[in-house]
Amino acid sequence: MTEMMSPDQLEAALRAVGAARYHDKHPFQVRLNAGDLNRDQVRAWALNRYYYQSRIPLKDAALLARLEDPALRRAWRQRIVDHDGETEGDGGIERWLRLTDALGFARDYVIAAHHILPGTRYAVDAYVHFVRERSLLEAVASSLTEMFSPGAIKNRVAGMLANYDFVSKEALAYFDKRLTQAPRDADFALDYVKREARRPEQQQAVIAALTFKCDTLWAQLDALHHAYVEPGHIPPGAWQP
Ligand SMILES: O=C(O)c1cc(C(=O)O)c2c(n1)C(=O)C(=O)c1cc(C(=O)O)[nH]c1-2
């Protein structure tokens, strides 16, 4: 039988999942930061990742719809505001589109997402389905990858600005806001799971949810690497540089 962990032991177990599996360790991410990708490979990353950005508010709305406590809803709804903005021209999705603008994509093309990789679509959709179908505790836990994103984002932005003359600080403005939003969201979700996972099997479910989520991020980068780096097999229908 699995032992009950203290809340702090649970947190340590979650941090160990991130240390082993978070997408900052993926070869595609390492190359992106090191300046080892060409402009088209960076374009492929931004195009595909838009689909992730676009689905995040849908998964947060699915989660929000199941929260019965007004205080929890108030906290969680901020995530949707952050991505959608309060008004047209504001918010994270708009800021991601400024990056794809800067990389030379037409907005309609990006938003339609007709030419993203199948692997991107399957991985992102799997995350949305997971949040819809699993327990609220697992749904909240699956957002905990954000515990690890600030470090990854700092390295990525510094690496990209140092190594690519085709990306500017303005084009990467999306990530500036994430450096304050992600820790706020991660702290909230971490407090929630440490408080609510009161039985060993719940604690194991929380760890499994974070593992699953790390895998959805990893799979997105596997798909990019396979198509646009090595061996360079671009699936039929996907964007061709
Ligand atoms: O740039 C990154 O490395 C990164 C990672 C993650 C993440 O760990 O899931 C998110 C984001 N960015 C992000 O920008 C974002 O809005 C976001 C929302 C979520 C989530 O699961 O609710 N993760 C992430």
* Substitution site in 23, 82, 145 for ligand 1 pocket (most atoms within 8 Å of beta carbon): 145
Phi, psi for residue 165 in degrees, rounded to 5? -80, -10
Could you tell me which of 117, 114, 141, 116 has the C-alpha nearest to residue 127? 141
Question: How would you classify residue 164: left for phi > 0, otherwise alpha for psi between -120 and 50, otherwise beta?
Answer: beta
Mean pLDDT value across residues 137-147: 98
pLDDT recorded at residue 30: 98
Write the pLDDT tens digit of every residue in 205-223: 999 999 999 999 999 999 9
Query: What local confidence, expressed as pLDDT, does residue 57 receive?
Result: 98
Q: What is the pLDDT of residues 10-38, one digit of tens each?
A: 999 999 999 999 999 999 999 999 999 99
Per domain, the residue ranges of the chain are 7-228
Q: Which residues surround ligand 1 with Cβ inside 6 Å? A: 56, 143, 145-146, 149, 152-153, 178, 217
% residues pLDDT > 70 (the chain): 100
Q: What does the block give as tokens for 212? A: 């699953």
Spatial separation of the C-alpha atoms in residues 103 and 61, rounded to whole Å? 30
Tens-digit pLDDT profile for residues 38-52: 999 999 999 999 999
pTM higher than 0.95 for the full model?
Answer: yes
Residue ID of nearest Cα to ligand 1 atom 2: 149
Residue 1 has a pLDDT of: 61
pLDDT digits (tens, 9 = 90+) for 69-115: 999 999 999 999 999 999 999 999 999 999 999 999 999 999 999 99
Measured by CA distance, the residue closest to atom 18 of ligand 1 is 56
200-227 per-residue burial string, b: 16 or more CB within 10 A, e: under 16: eebbebbbebbbbbbbbbbbbbbbbbbb
Residue nearest to atom 9 of ligand 1 (CA): 145
Average pLDDT of 133-153?
98
- Where does residue 126 fall: left (phi above 0), alpha (psi -120 to 50 degrees), or beta otherwise? alpha
Which residue has the CA at smallest separation from atom 14 of ligand 1? 178
Pocket test for ligand 1, best of 56, 129, 175 (most atoms within 8 A of CB): 56
Domain at 7-228, CATH class:
mainly alpha
The CA 140 to ligand 1 mean position distance, Å, reads 13
